[in-house]
């Protein structure tokens, strides 16, 4: 059994896609074992995306992540890291497969509706960034 962190980003929350995104996880038999809505500060967004600090888009990305509330979730299931990434589709919605969350809801490579951890090590860091053990109802 594996866990991953999922984020519904400010663009998708603002556009009213929470229900459809959460329903997509449930329909695909992914268990949601923790969930909350938070509004990140610039500093908190920078801490979360610290691995991208050197990227040219870091400033814009972190500002975007603070534009409004986000919904963070811990997802659980067999191979859930890969399964979630498959459901999300490519980072750039122009390259995302038909039916994926980013194809359906993203509007640009930055405003791409959802985030998902890309490996077990990043999942551990990202889950711990938002949730303590008592907040995960596994
Ligand atoms: P995410 O999966 O959350 O991981 C890093 C984020 O940086 C990514 O989704 C996008 O929101 C953003 N991103 C990645 N590449 C670019 C880019 N070339 N220009 C702007 N934003 C990007």
pLDDT at 123: 98
**Any bridge partners for residue 5, and if so which?**
74
Atom 2 of ligand 1 has which residue's CA nearest to it?
115
pLDDT at 69: 98
Select from 6, 110, 111 the residue to mutate for testing ligand 1; criterion: most ligand atoms less than 8 Å from CB.
110
Distance 53 CA to ligand 1 centre (A): 12
Residue with tokens 């984020």: 7
Distance 122 CA to ligand 1 centre (A): 16
pTM over 0.95: yes
pLDDT at 84: 98
Segments of the chain with pLDDT less than 70? 138
The string of DSSP codes covering 38-97 is E---HHHHHHHTGGGTTSTTHHHHHHHHTSS-EEEEEEEETTHHHHHHHHH--SSGGGSP
Evaluated on CA atoms 44, 46, 48, 71, the torsion sign reads: positive
Whether residue 110 has its Cβ less than 6 Å from ligand 1: yes
Whether residue 90 has its Cβ less than 6 Å from ligand 1: no
pLDDT at 124: 98
39-59 pLDDT, tens digit each: 999 999 999 999 999 999 999
pLDDT at 22: 98
pLDDT at 30: 97
CA distances from 82 to 16, 42, 52, 55, 117 (A): 26, 29, 21, 24, 9
List the catalytic residues: 115
Distance CA 113, CA 30 (A): 18
Distance 134 CA to ligand 1 centre (A): 30
Whether residue 115 has its Cβ less than 6 Å from ligand 1: yes
């Amino acid at each position: 059994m594996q866990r991953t962190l999922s984020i519904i980003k400010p663009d998708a929350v603002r556009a009213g896609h929470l229900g459809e995104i959460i329903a997509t996880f449930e329909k695909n038999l992914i268990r949601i074992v923790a969930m909350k809505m938070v509004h990140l500060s610039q500093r908190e967004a920078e801490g979360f995306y610290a691995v991208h600090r050197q990227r040219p888009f870091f400033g814009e990305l972190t500002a975007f992540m603070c534009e409004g509330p986000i919904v963070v979730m811990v997802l659980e299931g067999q191979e859930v890291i890969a399964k979630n990434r498959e459901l999300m589709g490519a980072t750039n919605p122009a390259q995302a497969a038909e039916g994926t969350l980013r194809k359906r809801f993203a509007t640009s490579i930055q405003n791409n509706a959802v985030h998902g951890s890309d490996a077990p090590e990043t999942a551990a860091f990202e889950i711990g960034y938002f949730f303590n053990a008592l907040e995960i109802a596994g």
